[in-house]
Structure 1
Amino acid sequence: MSGPLSQLKVLDLSRILAGPWASQVLADFGAEVIKVERPQRGDDTRHWGPPYLRDEQGADTADAAYYLSANRGKKSITIDITSEGGQALVRELAAECDILLENYKVGGLQKYGLDYASIRTLNPRLVYCSITGFGQTGPYAGRAGYDAMIQGMGGLMSITGVPEGEPGAGPQKVGVAVADLMTGMYAVSSILAAIVHRDKTGQGQHIDLALLDTQVAWLANQAQNYLVAGQTPQRQGTAHPNIVPYQAVPSSDGYFMLAVGNDEQFKRFCSIAGLDQLAENPAYATNAARVLARERLIPLIEEATRGRPSAWWLEELSAAQVPCGPINDLEQVFADPQVRARGMVIEQKHPAAGKVRTVRNPAVFSESPLEYELGPPLLGEHTDEVLRELLHKDDDTIASLRAKGVV
């Protein structure tokens, strides 16, 4: 393996999205990630389709697109952790790894002797990261937590969607599982911080990450608006609570995003839109004034933007350094010349399909470039390899484990 984390080994006991997203990022960065899955069935997301990856003859494979999105770069092994033999194998693997990632319910691994207190005696340097819906403590600790319910409980749905009183108003879930994804990203940064601590002190530690905590934490300016002003933020559609104009606006043939970030940009926008009188009016000249005058100002802007097509606005405003952009569907996203120039789609070999396309990690390292050597693995594809090379099991032992249903 290559990449900045090529010296690290990760034992991944997680499934679905938050944990696998974290371990995929670690794999992208070069870590060797060993994904432990249930024999026969594997990660639930392998079955969350259609669509499924198709083989070279055009038939569906066993793996859904959902699974492919979060499991690139890993080695899949199958272990029945409910069996004593499987638990012994996991403990052996944990003793050889730097990081263990799991998202079982609180206390779920304790009965197998695979909880942090048990594992740390085998490997005091291990960084053990637990991801749950609500954390290891508190009145909800024992509850299951899933992304959609966390978006609701954590406040995100209260500030996402059409404003109250308008057609289509009501709480809206974000189009991807952002609570899971952000928890995965916090897991990566927390794990790497713990690795730095370990390298200084020689001691590993337990990381307790909760989806609800993460959702509350990344409410960002909306949370701070509430804490400072004591007023509960409301849904504003595409508009921004602290910046105006910063939202989707209509054109003669659709919509585009207008993202004016300061007063100078507002002046340049007004010049192009034929609205110089607005830029000179003290009621609109500053962002603070525009936020207060939002309900009067936005209709005036929309009246102007409706007069020309989106392409005209995007060309003229971009040339004047006024931030703006199209509202693309995914076909348009992947056809965009900037996305293509940045090589955001990568192609990897796949044993069942021949090849598979995935979206690359957005990080670009100048001295340790990322190499995407492994595609999303088949279920149990690397079981023999890992047992043989990492745990030094011989063929007879592996055959015996398989005969007993341990792997």
Structure 2
Amino acid sequence: MSFAPYGAFLARDGYIVIGISNDNLFSRLSEAIGMPELKNNPDYITNRERVRHRKKLNRLLGSVFIKNTSRYWMDLLKRYKVPCARVKDVSEVLKDGQTSAINPFQVINESGRKLKIQPVPFKLNNKYFKIERPSPSNGENTYEILYKLGYSQDEIKINLTWHNKNLDFPDSEFNILILFIFNKIKTSIIQYFYKFFNVIIEPIRIQN
């Protein structure tokens, strides 16, 4: 950053942000925090010097701001016309008037509950993209996924039944997919030996 002090400082109950971009604002800040001598300190007398001694200045201001609440500092700094803001927590952001004005949330139903979520955080034709449905529960889309992978309905039903009865680890799409891959390999091996017997072994046996 090309000017100092600038950034978030911890007050007694949360963070505040200040931005001092010129000597006049630094003079106001010095008066506001009760340390008017800072504006004449050679280390802070110009912005160039404040940038050079940024770490030391930040430590000094940090030791001052921690002594009172964020609300106290906001009221005081505004009175001296020092650029500042309080860092809000999530609940405060959600209740903020500007948040309500842009209405960036969507309500969806999930297992009988209404959830307020944020959709894709940008607009197209002045509209947000809508989320069509909530995230799936465990195993909810297993049948659909395996069907799209090319398994028949009978294969899926039989193997899901076998899987649920015989495996001790929890159901998941990954576990079921591994099971199907194993079954496919097993089936391919059986088919290979069947063809090998009928194409090679059986003709030899007949000739003999």
Q: TM-score, normalised by structure 1?
A: 0.30
Deviations 1:53-94 (A, max 9, x none): xxxxxxxxxxxxxxxxxxxxxxxxxxxxxxxxxxxxxxxxxx
Decide whether aligned partners of structure 1 residues 383 and 313 sit closer, same or farther in structure 2, where only a CA change above 3 A counts.
farther
Which residue, out of 136, 141, 158, partners 1:400? 158
Partner of 2:138: 379
CA shift for structure 1 position 271: 2.6
What is the RMSD of the two structures over their aligned residues, measured on CA atoms? 4.1
Instruction: Give the Cα–Cα distance (whole angstroms) in 2 for the partners of residues 341 and 287 of structure 1.
Output: 38
More helix by share: 2
Q: Is 1:248–2:1 an aligned residue pair?
A: no
Q: CA deviation at 1:356?
A: 2.4
Structure showing greater Rg: 2
Q: 1:263 to 1:330 in 2, by over 3 A?
A: closer
Counterpart amino acid of residue 355 in structure 1: K
Shift of 1:378: 0.7
Does residue 101 of structure 2 align to residue 336 of structure 1?
A: no
How far is 1:337 from its partner? 2.6
Kept in 2, the 8 Å contact 1:245–1:259? The answer is yes
Residue of structure 2 equivalent to 1:267: 24
Q: How many residues align?
A: 156
| Alpha-carbon separation, structure 1, partners of 2:73 and 2:38 | 22
- SS of the residue 1:377 aligns to: coil
Task: Tell me the CA shift for residue 364 of structure 1.
Answer: 0.8
How far apart, in 2, do the equivalents of 1:271 and 1:357 lie?
A: 43
Q: Which residue number corresponds to residue 346 of structure 1? A: 106
The answer to whether the 8 Å contact 1:249/1:257 transfers is yes
Equivalent residue, structure 2, for 1:312: 75
Identity value in percent: 19
SS of the residue corresponding to residue 309 of structure 1 reads: helix
The CA distance in 2 between the partners of 1:248 and 1:297, in whole Å, is: 8
User: Retained in 2: the 8 A contact 1:254–1:310?
Assistant: no
Answering whether residue 17 of structure 2 is matched by residue 258 of structure 1, we say yes
Q: 1:293-331, CA deviations, whole angstroms, 9 ceiling, x for partnerless residues? A: 45367647838x9598144147557xx582x32243433
The runs of at least 4 consecutive aligned structure 1 residues that moved more than 6 Å come to none
Instruction: Report the secondary structure of 1:379's partner residue.
Output: coil
Write the distance in 2 (CA, Å) between the matches of 1:396 and 1:339: 51
Contact 1:333/1:339, CA 8 A, preserved across alignment? yes
Q: What are the residue-to-residue correspondences of 1:211-290 with 2, within 5 Å?
A: 243-248=4-9, 250=11, 254-260=13-19, 263-264=21-22, 267-268=24-25, 270-271=27-28, 274=31, 278-279=38-39, 283-290=43-50
Q: Which has the higher contact order (CA 8 A, sep 6+)?
A: 1
